[in-house]
Amino acid sequence: MSWEVVIGLEIHVQLNTASKLFSGSKLSTGAEPNTQASLVDLGMPGTLPVVNREAVRKAALFGLAINADICRHSVFERKNYFYPDLPKGYQTTQLDKPVVGAGEVEISLENGAKKTVRIHHAHLEEDAGKSLHEDFHGMTGIDLNRAGTPLIEVVTEPDMSNAEEAVAFARKLHAIVTSIGICDGDMSQGNMRFDVNVSIRKPGDPLGTRTETKNLNSFRFMERAIKLEVERQIDVLEDGGSIVQETRLYNGDTHTARSMRSKEDANDYRYFPCPDLLPVEITDADLDALKAAMPELPDTRKSRFLADYQLSEYDADLLSGDLATAVFFEAATKAGGDAKLAANWVMGELAAKLNAEEKSIANSPVTAEQLGQLIARLKDGTISSKIAKQVFEACWAGEGDPDTVIEAKGLKQMSDSGELEKIVDDIIANNGPQVEDYRSSDDAKKKKKIGFFVGQAMKVTQGKANPQQLNQLLKEKLG
Amino acid sequence: MAIDSKVVAQVAHLARLKVDQADSDALSSRLNDILAMVDQLQQADVTDVAPMAHPLDVTQPLRDDKVSEPDIRDKALEIAPAAEDGCFLVPRVIE
């Protein structure tokens, strides 16, 4: 009898403000340890937090993007626990009155079906600092640059029933937060971190005991961690054991997970409303201004791509799903004048190359304008598609714009028919037996055998012969 | 809810306070007095009273998203019990 899997997610989304949630400390990655930690972030006595307007604005914008109720008077609470990277001894977060109430996100599945994932709520909170366990000879180093970084924690209902759905949701959420510009979305920098709650049950049974796998920072790891945990729970239950409610840590390198701590005695956070902070008010005017400033959402963008560029459903999905990809695609289309070609190049050659070198599209060595120029040269017949790949490689290697590369390497397609005619004549003259063989073949075989001559011509012209023109000439001359 | 020495020990642990057994009984009794007061408060009829998060009837002033704080690392590390390579040092914690 099969098991039913129940998955809920908690996602920490780092807001891309200039300063921290409760202090005017700078927010940026890569700074020297503790150089971006003010008295407030250090939890010094006598300091008071002041809320960053932009963080509240971004949280509310997210709420509107997922059709959620926005709490007009949200309240910050203290979540009390001791850990060295939490200098105040509590995390300032929200509990009963989060900024963002219940909402929903629609996901598309591989078989084309749609599914709605309900959002329980999303709250504003501060991040903790970092504990560094290596390089401090048996001690732990504490870097508080990250302490006080604004996050929204998005909590879903347990609406997903397999790893694929969870990943589809995670990708959609990534698309939303990057599209509305509240998060940079760089997973490798921890801009989005996923906690996965998994339980299994027999159909019709009440919910099983769940475990939480924390801090997954890539879609791939998330998918693998969920599959691993589902297998583990099935094994435990089918062997007659029971699932313990616990937090688990997944190691992507070894594809293993281990129990981190049992939740029973750890979870006594003694929340209470933070006396240092007043309720945060969001007015009708605030909401009107946010609605007016709402950037294009992924679903709207997809519809626009379908209508404006006549892309297939699949292409539109892929190209609209990630803001950086969408921006790149549109810029390349504008520069190149051909959406279908731009789509093929962005999802084909470019994606493969970025993937192989683990680069993000925002840092692509070939710019959208360069790709557009390449496409324009393909369209106007200056280069063949085979040569285009060569030009692309050269642009990638930093040899300049396509036009520069084509000029410098002499890659212009040979479209002077006189020159090409001479080459074709030479080939026919020098390959008597093949010509005879071709001429004595039937039409079907001729189609195959012409390839030999095309190959010869391409060899002589170093691939620069215009393929259509060449074919035409060969057919005429060979008869 | 009645507070006994077991609850006192648990609350003390959560607050990282060391409470001697001798003090524990006295603390239990005082905490129970406080809870009795809370019980009395609970009897008040609040049917028509909206819950509030703060005694002041005002809302939070918000700050513009500007960097205003300088780097104070050297001063902060100076008053730390131990520091190295720009980090505060604490006894090893690893989960």
Higher-pLDDT residue of B41 and A432 is B41
CB A401 within 8 A of CB A370: yes
Domain at A455, CATH number: 1.10.10.410
Q: What is the mean pLDDT of residues B37-65?
A: 90
Does A39 sit within 8 Å of B65, measured CB to CB?
no
If asked whether residues A122 and A31 sit together in one domain, one would say yes
Write out the two tokens for A10: 């908690």
CB atoms within 10 A of CB A51: 20
Single-letter residue type at A57? R
Q: How far is CA A355 from the centre of its chain?
A: 12
**Domain end among A239, A261, A289:** A289
CB A234 within 8 A of CB A202: no
SS3 B34: helix
Q: In this complex, which of B61, B62, B68 lies closest to A24 when CB atoms are compared?
A: B68
Using CA atoms, how far apart are residues A216 and A187, in angstroms rounded to an integer?
A: 9
Chain A nearest CA to B69, separation (Å): 5
Q: A212: which chain B residues are within 8 Å (Cβ-Cβ)? A: none
If asked whether residues A81 and A189 sit together in one domain, one would say yes
If asked whether residues A220 and A95 sit together in one domain, one would say yes
A158-184 confidence digits (pLDDT tens): 999 999 999 999 999 999 999 999 999
Burial call A95-105: b when 16+ CB within 10 Å, e when fewer: bebbbbbebeb
Chain B nearest CA to A268, separation (Å): 8
CB A52 within 8 A of CB B65: yes
SS3 B10: helix
Please report how the helices A417-430 and A443-461 are oriented relative to each other, as an axis angle in degrees rounded to 10.
110
Handedness of CA A119, A121, A125, A127 (dihedral sign): negative
Chain A nearest CA to B82, separation (Å): 10
Single-letter residue type at A73? H
Most A CBs within 10 A among B17, B58, B90, hence the mutation to make, goes to: B90
Q: Is the pLDDT of residue A415 over 80?
A: no
If asked whether residues A329 and A353 sit together in one domain, one would say yes
Using CA atoms, how far apart are residues A36 and A30, in angstroms rounded to an integer?
A: 11
Does A52 sit within 8 Å of B65, measured CB to CB?
yes
Q: In this complex, which of A24, A34, A42 lies closest to B86 when CB atoms are compared?
A: A34
Task: Write the ipTM.
Answer: 0.89
Q: Is the pLDDT of residue A67 over 90?
A: yes
Q: B77: which chain A residues are within 8 Å (Cβ-Cβ)? A: 34
SS3 B44: coil
If asked whether residues A240 and A259 sit together in one domain, one would say yes
Write out the two tokens for B20: 């001697």
Beta-carbon contacts of A56 under 8 Å, excluding residues fewer than 6 positions away, are A99, A124, A280, A282, B62
Using CA atoms, how far apart are residues A464 and A458, in angstroms rounded to an integer?
A: 7
Does B60 sit within 8 Å of A34, measured CB to CB?
no
Which domain does A306 fall in, by range?
296-409
Does A82 sit within 8 Å of B89, measured CB to CB?
no
CB atoms within 10 A of CB A189: 12
Q: What is the mean pLDDT of residues A409-435?
A: 81
Q: B87: which chain A residues are within 8 Å (Cβ-Cβ)? A: 33-34, 132, 136, 141-143
Chain A nearest CA to B30, separation (Å): 20
Q: Is the pLDDT of residue A11 over 50?
A: yes
Does B61 sit within 8 Å of A281, measured CB to CB?
no
Chain A nearest CA to B23, separation (Å): 23
A227-260 confidence digits (pLDDT tens): 999 999 999 999 999 999 999 999 999 999 999 8
For A74, name the nearest residue in chain B, comparing CA atoms only. B53
Does A141 sit within 8 Å of B89, measured CB to CB?
yes
Chain A nearest CA to B53, separation (Å): 6
Q: What is the CA radius of gyration of chain B?
A: 23
Confidence tier at A203 by pLDDT (50, 70, 90): very high
Q: Poorest-confidence range of A159-168, A414-423, B70-79?
A: A414-423
Q: A25: which chain B residues are within 8 Å (Cβ-Cβ)? A: 67, 69
Using CA atoms, how far apart are residues A210 and A438, in angstroms rounded to an integer?
A: 71
Most A CBs within 10 A among B6, B10, B58, B60, hence the mutation to make, goes to: B60
The overall average pLDDT reported for chain B is 91
B19-31 confidence digits (pLDDT tens): 998 889 899 999 9
Number of structural domains (chain A) is 3
If asked whether residues A315 and A262 sit together in one domain, one would say no
**Domain end among A234, A263, A289:** A289
Using CA atoms, how far apart are residues A46 and A403, in angstroms rounded to an integer?
A: 63
Q: How far is CA A467 from the centre of its chain?
A: 38
If asked whether residues A145 and A272 sit together in one domain, one would say yes
Q: Is the pLDDT of residue A266 over 60?
A: no
Write down the pLDDT at residue A263: 47
If asked whether residues A305 and A174 sit together in one domain, one would say no
Q: Is the pLDDT of residue A289 over 60?
A: yes
Does A140 sit within 8 Å of B91, measured CB to CB?
yes
Q: What is the 3-state secondary structure (H, E, C) of chain A?
A: CCCEEEEEEEEEEECCCCECCCCCCECCCCCCCCCCCCCCCCCCCCCCCCEEHHHHHHHHHHHHHCCCCECCEECEEEEECCCCCCCCCEEEEECCCCCECCEEEEEECCCCCEEEEEEEEEEEEECCCEEECCCCCCEEEEECCCCCCEEEEEEECCCECCHHHHHHHHHHHHHHHHHCCCCCCCHHHCCEEEEEEEEEECCCCCCCCCEEEEEECCHHHHHHHHHHHHHHHHHHHHCCCCCCCEEEEEECCCCEEEEEEEHHHHCCCCCEECCCCCCEECCHHHHHHHHHCCCCCHHHHHHHHHHHHCCCHHHHHHHHHCHHHHHHHHHHHHHHCCHHHHHHHHHHHHHHHHHHCCCCHHHCCCCHHHHHHHHHHHHCCCCCHHHHHHHHHHHHCCCCCHHHHHHHHCCCCECCHHHHHHHHHHHHHHCHHHHHHHHCCCHHHHHHHHHHHHHHHHHHHCCCECHHHHHHHHHHHHC
Chain B nearest CA to A158, separation (Å): 27
Higher-pLDDT residue of A46 and B57 is A46
Residue appearing with tokens 């599959």: A227
Write down the pLDDT at residue A262: 57
Write down the pLDDT at residue A267: 66
Which chain B residues have any C-beta within 8 angstroms of a chain A C-beta? 14, 16, 53-54, 56, 58-69, 71-73, 76-77, 82, 84-95
Chain A nearest CA to B61, separation (Å): 7
For A84, name the nearest residue in chain B, comparing CA atoms only. B90
Q: What is the CA radius of gyration of chain A?
A: 29
Q: A75: which chain B residues are within 8 Å (Cβ-Cβ)? A: 53
If asked whether residues A426 and A303 sit together in one domain, one would say no
**Domain end among A261, A289, A317:** A289
Alpha-carbon dihedral angle through residues A337, A341, A346, A349, given to the nearest 10 degrees? -130
Does A24 sit within 8 Å of B67, measured CB to CB?
yes
If asked whether residues A384 and A462 sit together in one domain, one would say no
SS3 B90: strand
Nearest to A131 by CA among A173, A87, A172: A87
If asked whether residues A331 and A446 sit together in one domain, one would say no
If asked whether residues A100 and A196 sit together in one domain, one would say yes
Q: What are phi and psi of A250, to 5 degrees?
A: -105, 135
Most A CBs within 10 A among B6, B11, B17, B54, hence the mutation to make, goes to: B54
CB A301 within 8 A of CB A154: no
Q: How many CB pairs under 8 A join A and B?
A: 132
Does B59 sit within 8 Å of A38, measured CB to CB?
no
